[in-house]
């Protein structure tokens, strides 16, 4: 496994692999890898001849006052996990490499970015789409693998791929969870001992919503009211959003159907956690 930090070196490696007609699979991340990331790498290994992992804490997707500076970073530990997962190249560019002086081009997906995380984090998806487009151009993967943990991100990337005719197959893999149900996230390290059990309120809300639906409750307003009441009982919790949306349009629904996804973003203390899941099997 090699670690590449410059764009031009990465491009040279890609040219040599493409010359040999080998297919590249690609997993973009911000690093501080956990088993959720590893599940994406495992799939990547199966899907391509060569596997590239990018580790880049992308400044353009963080807003003012968000955790860009504090975001956990550990390239040494990540390298070990990546090597075990069969990664061929870690692409870990500096911000200067990706956004040199004079940088001026951004990719903006409209519509589905106006809701959920897009509404609470203005400019977030513009940063995500810009960096993912750049990474796709540099790495030229046949397949790119994302997690359903970031449900809206996946939908936005699919939209971008379609709209810009990018020749990349996008795969979305299920959420990987801790044994007690908490969705794995690099940000979970921010949680204190007191907050950690309270963070379970996200996955428990999902389970409760599915239970209500299975028992015949289809009224979105009633389900959301119950979930919000329960979440607000956790002293450290502050709701950003709790919504039930159509899986493709991400528009709010009035009644639950087979396309319904519950999406939550909740601060536990200062840590913003997200989770989601379908409400009908």
Residues that bind ligand AMP (CB under 6 A): 29-30, 36-37, 39-40, 146-147, 149-150, 173, 175-176, 183-186
Q: Residue 60 or 185: which CB sits closer to ligand AMP?
A: 185
At a CB cut-off of 8 Å and minimum separation 6, what does 95 contact? 59
Smallest distance, ligand AMP to C-beta of residue 176, A? 4
Name the residue nearer to ligand AMP (CB basis): 183 or 256: 183
CB of 78 to ligand AMP, least distance (A): 10
Our CB check for ligand AMP shows the closer of 181 and 269 to be 181
- Least separation in angstroms between residue 37's CB and ligand AMP is 5
Helices 151-163, 124-139: crossing angle, 10 deg rounding: 60
Which H or E run includes 139? helix 124-139
Q: What is each CA distance from 182 to 35, 47, 146, 200, 280, in whole angstroms?
A: 13, 28, 19, 6, 20
Q: In the complex with ligand AMP, which residue's Cβ is closer, 13 or 176? A: 176
- Specify the residue, 13 or 56, whose C-beta has the smaller distance to ligand AMP: 56
> What kind and span of H or E run contains 212?
helix 201-214
Query: What is the spatial distance between Cα 188 and Cα 241, in angstroms, rounded to a whole number?
Result: 19
Look up residue 62 and give its DSSP letter. Answer: P
Residues in the chain: 281
Comparing every residue's Cβ against ligand AMP, the nearest one is 147
> Using CA atoms, how far apart are residues 109 and 130, in angstroms rounded to an integer?
10
Q: Which is nearer to ligand AMP, 124 or 223 (CB)?
A: 124
Ramachandran assignment for 116, one of left (phi > 0), alpha (psi -120 to 50 degrees), beta (any other) = left
Q: What DSSP string runs through 66-134?
A: SSTTTS---HHHHHHHHHHTT-SEEE---HHHHS-TT--------STTSSHHHHHSTTHHHHHHHHHHH
Clarify whether 246 is annotated catalytic.
no
**Rounded least distance, CB 52 to ligand AMP, Å:** 13
Q: What's the min distance (Å) between Cβ of 33 and ligand AMP?
A: 8
The catalytic residue among 34, 37, 124, 246 is 37
Minimum distance from residue 18 beta carbon to ligand AMP (Å): 24
Catalytic residues: 37
């Amino acid at each position: 496994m090699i670690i590449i930090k410059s764009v031009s070196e990465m491009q040279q490696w890609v040219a040599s692999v493409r010359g040999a007609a080998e297919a590249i699979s690609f997993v973009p991340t911000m690093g501080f890898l956990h088993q959720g990331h590893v599940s994406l790498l495992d799939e990547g290994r199966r899907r391509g001849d060569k596997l590239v992992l990018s580790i880049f804490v992308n400044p353009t997707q963080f807003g003012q006052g968000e955790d860009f500076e504090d975001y956990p970073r550990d390239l040494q530990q990540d390298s070990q996990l990546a090597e075990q997962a069969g990664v061929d190249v870690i692409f870990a560019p500096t911000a200067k490499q990706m956004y040199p002086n004079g940088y001026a081009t951004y990719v903006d997906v409209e519509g589905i970015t106006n809701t959920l995380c897009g509404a609470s984090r203005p400019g977030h998806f513009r940063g995500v789409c810009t960096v993912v487009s750049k990474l796709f151009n540099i790495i030229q993967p046949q397949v790119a693998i994302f997690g359903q943990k970031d449900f809206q991100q996946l939908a936005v990337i699919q939209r971008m791929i379609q709209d810009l005719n990018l020749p990349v197959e996008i795969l979305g893999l299920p959420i990987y969870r801790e044994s007690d149900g908490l969705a794995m996230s690099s940000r979970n390290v921010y949680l204190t001992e007191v907050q950690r059990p309270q963070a379970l309120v996200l996955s428990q809300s999902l389970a409760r919503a599915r239970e209500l639906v299975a028992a015949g409750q289809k009224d979105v307003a009633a389900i959301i009211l119950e979930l919000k009441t329960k979440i607000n009982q956790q002293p450290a919790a502050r709701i950003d959003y709790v919504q039930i949306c159509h899986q493709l349009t991400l528009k709010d629904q009035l009644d639950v159907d087979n396309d319904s996804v519950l999406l939550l973003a909740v601060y536990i203390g200062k840590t913003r956690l997200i989770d989601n899941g379908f409400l009908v099997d």
